[in-house]
């Protein structure tokens, strides 16, 4: 298993992990290992470049530089250096809490115009955390796509299965009341590569159906993932970067800005900060339209989603959605 955070390993554990990697890839890992190093450090290098350019306050640039150099050398950074890198990442590309339907101000949103923020805020009312009826753990995210209809990932539907059924919880914000609606059943399911399901609610949800975008999107385009990221286990046990980016608060509604990285075998790739629980989150463009559905992630690396283009080519599914 790949460790969540290098700082959580002892030297013996790290050496053992690297030995297994080398055993898998060969004595000379070559291009594959160099690509993995690139994936691990790509975002950190971008962040430190922005830190240096913008001279951000309260960031120890020397500590961030040491952390990046250690990661590039496959060495374990000092805890203080890694936590400082986490603060830089949080400043440059964090996630915003949604409170009372409004995006809370954060440096992560500094490139988003007031009009784009309002468009996202109009959409978040239709986003819900998905729970089993017998618990309050967020299994995934869903969003309204029609009268009493909710979209999510097909693999989330499998995880929701329980004798008591499941609920969609709207307005699940930090320290705010929420509205739970029973999920009556499944309307349609599409396994991978789409990994999409349409569910039927027992009554009308509070949010309006989200509109979908039929436009082609170029790499580098801005996007926003809105959903319910869940920290692994005890939030206090998560890695330091994870704790900083998500403020140690799990499950509640958030908006994570990012960019489209590209596509892989037709799947949309993006770099927004996501965690478990984000599966089924709508990926929104600056007009608040759905450009894809988030389905899997590697934290601080590339995330995968089902693009609106893939969905539109599936006629029985596309006919249920608003493409206006």
Shortest CA distance to 286 belongs to which of 90, 103, 117, 38? 117
| Predicted local distance difference test score (pLDDT) of residue 99 | 96
Cis peptide before 193 (omega within 30 of 0): yes
Helix (H, G, I), strand (E, B) or coil at 225: strand
| Predicted local distance difference test score (pLDDT) of residue 262 | 84
Helix (H, G, I), strand (E, B) or coil at 35: helix
Tens digit of pLDDT per residue, the chain (324 long)? 333 444 455 667 666 666 665 555 454 445 554 444 444 444 555 444 444 444 445 667 788 778 877 876 777 888 888 777 766 665 556 789 999 999 998 877 888 999 999 999 999 999 999 999 888 889 999 999 999 999 999 999 999 998 889 999 999 999 999 999 999 999 999 998 899 999 999 999 999 999 999 898 888 899 999 999 997 664 444 555 566 567 778 899 999 998 898 877 778 988 888 888 999 999 999 999 999 999 987 544 568 999 999 999 999 999 999 998
Look up the pTM and report it. 0.74
| Predicted local distance difference test score (pLDDT) of residue 203 | 97
| Predicted local distance difference test score (pLDDT) of residue 5 | 43
C-alpha 136/C-alpha 180 separation (Å) is 11
Shortest CA distance to 224 belongs to which of 149, 315, 127? 127
Helix (H, G, I), strand (E, B) or coil at 154: helix
Please say whether the dihedral angle defined by the alpha carbons of residues 239, 241, 246 and 251, taken in this order, is positive or negative: negative
| Predicted local distance difference test score (pLDDT) of residue 22 | 57
Give the count of beta carbons closer than 10 Å to the beta carbon of residue 132. 18
Shortest CA distance to 283 belongs to which of 313, 265, 301, 260? 260
């Amino acid at each position: 298993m790949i460790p969540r955070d290098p700082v959580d390993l002892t030297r013996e554990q790290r050496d053992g992990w690297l030995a297994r990697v080398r055993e898998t890839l060969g004595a000379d890992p070559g291009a594959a290992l160099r690509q993995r190093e690139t994936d691990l450090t790509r975002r950190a290098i971008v962040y430190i470049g922005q830190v240096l350019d913008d001279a951000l306050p309260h960031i120890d640039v020397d500590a961030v530089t040491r952390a990046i150099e250690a990661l590039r050398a496959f060495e374990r950074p000092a805890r203080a250096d890694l936590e400082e890198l986490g603060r830089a990442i949080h400043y440059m590309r964090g996630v915003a809490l949604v409170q009372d339907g409004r995006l809370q101000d954060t440096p992560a949103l500094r490139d988003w115009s007031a009009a784009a923020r309002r468009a996202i805020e109009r959409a978040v009312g239709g986003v819900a955390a998905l729970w089993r009826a017998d618990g309050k753990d967020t299994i995934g995210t869903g969003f309204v796509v029609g009268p009493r209809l909710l979209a999510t990932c097909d693999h989330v539907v499998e995880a929701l299965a329980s004798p008591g059924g499941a609920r969609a919880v709207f307005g699940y914000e930090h320290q705010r009341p929420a509205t739970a609606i029973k999920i009556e059943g499944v309307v349609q399911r599409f396994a991978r590569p789409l990994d999409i399901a349409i569910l039927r609610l027992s009554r009308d949800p509070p949010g309006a159906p989200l509109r979908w975008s039929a436009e082609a999107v170029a790499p580098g385009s801005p996007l926003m993932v809105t959903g319910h990221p869940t920290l692994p286990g005890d939030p206090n046990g998560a890695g330091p970067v994870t704790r900083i980016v998500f403020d140690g608060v799990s499950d509640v509604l958030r908006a994570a800005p990012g960019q489209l990285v590209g596509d892989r075998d037709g799947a949309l790739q993006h770099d927004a900060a996501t965690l478990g629980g984000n599966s089924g989150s709508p990926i929104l463009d600056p007009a608040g339209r759905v450009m894809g559905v988030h389905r899997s992630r590697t934290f601080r690396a590339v995330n995968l989603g089902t693009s609106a283009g893939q969905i539109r080519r599936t006629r029985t599914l596309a006919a249920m959605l608003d493409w206006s």
